[in-house]
Amino acid sequence: MIILLIVLLTITAFLLVLRFIQPELIYGLRRGLVMVSTNKAFIDKIAGRSNVEDVFRQLLMREARYETRTYDEIFILQDRIVKISELYRLLDLRRRLAKEQKPQVCIVELGGLLSNLGRRTEANPEHNSPVIKAGALLEYIGNGVRASQDEVPFEGEEEIDEWFIDNPISIEQVIELMIAAVVGLAHRQQAAKADVLDMRRAESLDLWPEIKKLEKRLRLLVRFQLQEKYKTEDAIYSRVRESLGDQGYQECLRNMEKVRTQAPGVALDFLEFVYLGQLETLIFKEWETFRAVFKEKGWLKEKIEKIIQVRNEEAHSRHISNDDKKVVIGHCSEIRKRIENFESGDV
């Protein structure tokens, strides 16, 4: 007796854990059982066995609702809407046993879907667009019905309410309107997921390697061009100091000395500590020397300024759009390409 009681308590505790900690397991189990039962009822229905019509309808109404986190908008569009449409077809008042059937249950099911989607919908100003009013939708439906009966369209809005009182809207039409709302919200959820995916892709684009490659390429170019023009190291560094100004020059020296302290005995080149903004200054101060490389001053300035802007934003952990990252990566590539063309003689 004690052992049986312990077993019952263990089972109860396990079920409570499932119910309150892992409800998806219960929903998944129910979904599997319902699907097996529905398939059996469907086979019995095709085989002409008796007393399965009601079972089949009940199973369709119980079929896997949008209750778990694993069922997304694709499930709604491809599975649940089809099931509700099939359910309405079976419960249609125009079919036999009309008094015993309740097609309005489809409205309740769609209301549940709208409720779930509504809870997950977030306002987004980018999705605002011209609104088709509810009255205009009803006017469109009414005019469609009137046209099918060879009647003229409504002449004014005041006719619409009176016409729908005299000609109540069908349950089937209400279901179609609700399906349109469900599908529209499901597509909106898909769009939101696409936006999130774009953000994740943007986060996966690493700008630093591209910017570092560009800085390295520009340093080599600047050193080569300045050596060609000024010949001696003293003359080069004198010109660099003049171009950067004392403050910029001293900043580069401090960075170099910091590395020298951390790695004594390593040969360091001053230009290795001249970064993108300072490289830009050196190039424009010696524009006649670099004109043959980059051709248009405005072209180079626009691209370097954009790279510096985005680099600074990332350095301060600000959000950078995927488009901006792609633009910067493209700018880095274009600048390096012009340098490569110049060095290969393809100018």
Mean pLDDT of 117-144: 80
Residue with tokens 């050193």: 223
The pLDDT value given to residue 314: 85
Please tell me the distance from the alpha carbon of residue 38 to that of residue 32, in angstroms, as a whole number: 10
% of the chain exceeding 90 in pLDDT: 25
Please tell me the distance from the alpha carbon of residue 296 to that of residue 302, in angstroms, as a whole number: 10
The pLDDT value given to residue 280: 95
Please tell me the distance from the alpha carbon of residue 277 to that of residue 268, in angstroms, as a whole number: 20
Ranges 99-108, 303-312, 318-327, most confident: 303-312
The pLDDT value given to residue 81: 66
pLDDT by residue (tens digit) across 184-218? Answer: 887 787 777 665 555 555 556 788 888 999 999 99
The pLDDT value given to residue 285: 95
**Given a cut of 60, is residue 114 above it in pLDDT?**
yes
Q: Is 8 exposed, middle or buried (0-12, 13-18, 19+ CB in 10 A)?
A: exposed
pTM: 0.45
Residue 163, Ramachandran bin (φ over 0: left; ψ between -120 and 50: alpha; else beta): alpha
Cβ atoms of 56 and 41 within 8 Å: the answer is: yes
**Given a cut of 50, is residue 62 above it in pLDDT?**
no
Count of beta carbons in the 10 Å neighbourhood of residue 163? 17
Q: pLDDT tier at 260 (50, 70, 90 boundaries)?
A: confident
Of 127-131, 139-143, 147-151, the poorest mean pLDDT is in: 127-131
Please tell me the distance from the alpha carbon of residue 77 to that of residue 217, in angstroms, as a whole number: 52
The pLDDT value given to residue 77: 58
Amino acid 30 reads R
Rg of the chain in Å (alpha carbons): 36
Mean pLDDT of 42-55: 59
Q: pLDDT tier at 130 (50, 70, 90 boundaries)?
A: confident
Mean pLDDT for all residues in the chain:
77
Name the token pair of 3: 């052992």
SS3 1: coil
Q: pLDDT tier at 97 (50, 70, 90 boundaries)?
A: very low
Amino acid 90 reads L
In the chain, what is the straight-line distance between the N-terminal and C-terminal CA atoms, in Å?
A: 95
The pLDDT value given to residue 84: 65
Higher pLDDT, 3 or 202: 3
pLDDT by residue (tens digit) across 268-279? Answer: 788 889 999 999
**Given a cut of 70, is residue 164 above it in pLDDT?**
yes
Name the token pair of 126: 């980018």
Mean pLDDT of 67-88: 57
The pLDDT value given to residue 78: 58
The pLDDT value given to residue 223: 92
Which is nearest to 335 in space by CA: 240, 244, 221, 225?
221
Residue with tokens 């952990």: 317
Mean pLDDT of 242-253: 91
Of 62-76, 151-165, 220-234, 309-323, the poorest mean pLDDT is in: 62-76
Name the token pair of 125: 């100003």
Q: pLDDT tier at 220 (50, 70, 90 boundaries)?
A: very high
DSSP string of 111-137, one letter each residue: HHHHHHHHHH----GGG--PPPPHHHH
Mean pLDDT of 104-122: 77
Range 170-192 burial, b when 16+ CB lie within 10 A, else e = ebbeebebbbeebbebbebbeeb
SS3 317: coil
SS3 321: coil
Higher pLDDT, 77 or 270: 270
**Given a cut of 60, is residue 60 above it in pLDDT?**
no
Amino acid 40 reads K
Cβ atoms of 172 and 88 within 8 Å: the answer is: yes
The pLDDT value given to residue 218: 95
